[in-house]
Structure 1
Amino acid sequence: MTTPTLITIAPTGAESAKSEVPALPVTLDELVSTARECEALGAAVIHVHIRDAEARPTLDLGRLRDTVAALREQTNLIVQLSTGGAVSDPESDRLRVLDAEPDMASCTMGTVNFGDDVFMNRWEFIVELHTRMRERGIVPEYEIFDLGQLTTLRRLLDKYGPPAGGHVHVDLVMGVPGGMPGTAEALVSCLRDLPDGATFSATGIGRSTIPVMLASLSAGGHLRVGMEDTISYAKGQPVESNMQLVARAVGFARLAQRPPMPAGEARALLEVKSRG
């Protein structure tokens, strides 16, 4: 039997401005509507960044809790909150994200240049995130921006034990200026350093979206797509909606004879417990 494809939708992010990308979902209503439509197309996980009343990135705990509650009430998606926030967010705010009690949360495995900025992830902060998630039963998605961060992940697991649920899932974030390139060669290089038994998704930033999707599918991996990572559907053609990107990912997955994985199967694969 072929392995179904786990599809994650990352609809908003913290980088694009609503004024420049009008289709970006920034209100709670817009986010929930997007989530419902993407789930209907085949997404199983939603990777969430939120915005404030002025559409600016925020880690406000009240808004995060409201977002988690609304997504749980109106979808069956696995709710994964970003602990990265914006590159300027302090560690204390990023740790507090876990107080919103998501199903999953991101855990980035190292510091990386992020365009003109620096996305800081100290070793002590990584350990604290990993430990708190395990104590609260929140399943991490280990975000990998460069090959060496897989070595950091192995060090983390060897020293501090497995994550909540016991299953290791990573997302290879490829094509960020300052990180690894969004190429098939880079993806294959990562595979040999994955922890034993781990699964992976891959995210291609910008123009690397399609090459990374095809490489991940051919290597047995899964997909993350969305307007956090891609705002151009093709050269000179802006993305119209997150649903457009999910539909393309679903089409590629079906061509690879690896249809979308339902949320229930995704929960079993990732060892995500139900929180009601």
Structure 2
Amino acid sequence: MGATTLITVAPTGAESAKADVPALPVTLEELVRTAEECEQAGAAVIHVHIRDDARPTLDLARLRDTVQALRQSTNLIVQLSTGGAVTDPYEDRLRVLEAEPDGCSLTCGTVNFGDDVFMNPWSFMVELYQRTQQLEIVPEFELFDLGQVRALHRLLDKHGPPYGGHVHCDLVMGVPGGMPGDTRTLVAAVEALPEGASWSATGVGRTSLPVMYAALATGGHLRVGMEDTLTYAKGQPVTGNAQLVERAATLARLAQRGPMPVDEARAFLGVKASAPA
């Protein structure tokens, strides 16, 4: 089997409002439909934020219902966000794991996020990481700048490998306050990663395409979606998440590393076999 590209879709996020972005999936029905379309288009992982009446929420019952619904309707790897919104308290972000997802995000440090601050102090990182190990949930290490790569090394050195045994990172690039979305920075970040780690890259906003091209050119994987990108081209709003997945899949095929099938992605990431919904 030739090399393939892991495509993650992040369909909603916690920042954009439905009133401003009508195509944003915010209800459970919209999210499930989006997931089905994105799986068909080539995604293997769905990175999930949920809403309550269009507002971001970490309500545990809703999270459980979401995980179950996605498992019933798709074969996608369900990765819940533990970042939530920048205002969410740490205890709520830790409780996300009780919804029993396949995976979760784990951000390796605090970062200025536009006009806000996304808080991830060391003690929170450690507690979240140890809970993922205990609950057998695969973390994806979210890295917003090069200092966070060093924090990841520290976390692994002090607390051992993640559940599943494989370190997979996502380089989040182009956030105001984080590392820029350019090739030079991507290469520097990749060279600093732990030995044997795999990685995806996310280009926020107008860095979306440059980061995608750079990731494919350097052997990386891709995360796309309306959490990160709302404009398909200048003056052309995104019509839906599947549009972004289809573009990523097309570019991956042009790079001769087509989309990674979900079952292959489970083995690659060290995720448990899909549990019955």
TM range (shorter): over 0.9
Distance 1:191 1:111 in 2: 20
Residue equivalent to 1:5: 5
Q: Which aligned pairs between 1:176-255 and structure 2 lie closer than 5 A?
A: 176-255=175-254
The answer to whether structure 1 residue 162 and structure 2 residue 161 are counterparts is yes
Question: Identity of counterpart residues, as a percentage?
Answer: 71
Deviations 1:150-192 (A, max 9, x none): 1100000000000001100000000000000000111000111
Say yes or no: does 1:121 pair with 2:83.
no
Question: Which secondary structure does the structure 1 equivalent of 2:192 belong to?
Answer: coil
Mapping for residues 69-84 of structure 1, pairs under 5 Å: 69-84=68-83
Q: Quote how far apart the aligned CAs of 1:2 are.
A: 4.0
Q: Runs of 5+ in structure 1 lacking a partner?
A: none
**CA distance in 1 between partners of 2:153 and 2:207 (Å):** 27
1:192 is paired with a residue whose SS is: helix
For residues 221 and 191 of structure 1, the distance between their equivalents in structure 2, rounded to whole angstroms, comes to 9
Equivalent in the alignment of 2:22: 22
Query: Alignment length, in residue pairs?
Result: 275
Amino acid at match of 1:200: W
Q: Which residue of 1 aligns with 2:134?
A: 135
- 1:46-98 C-alpha deviation (Å, 9 max, x unpaired): 0000000x200000000000000000111000000000000000000000000
Aligned amino acid, residue 57 of structure 1: P
Q: Could you say which residue in structure 2 is the equivalent of 1:88?
A: 87
Which amino acid in the other structure matches residue 224 of structure 1? R
CA contact (8 A) 1:3 1:220 kept: no
- Once superposed, what is the RMSD of the aligned Cα atoms? 0.7
User: What does residue 146 of structure 1 align with?
Assistant: 145
Distance in 2 (CA, whole Å) between partners of 1:91 and 1:248 is 36
Per the TM alignment, residue 12 of structure 1 is displaced from its structure 2 partner at its CA by 0.2
Return the letter of the residue paired with 1:27. T
CA distance in 2, matches of 1:17, 1:210: 23
Q: Distance in 1 between matches of 2:2 and 2:211?
A: 20
Distance in structure 1 (CA, Å) of the matches to 2:112 and 2:94: 21
**Residues 1:39 and 2:52 aligned together:** no
Query: Aligned partner of 1:223: which letter?
Result: L
TM normalised by structure 2 equals 0.98
2:179 is matched by which residue type in structure 1?
Answer: M
SS of residue matched to 2:65: helix
1:3 is displaced (CA, Å) by 1.6
Distance 1:151 1:127 in 2: 14
Output the amino acid matched with 1:254.
R
Name the SS for the 2:93 alignment partner: helix
Aligned to 1:98: 97
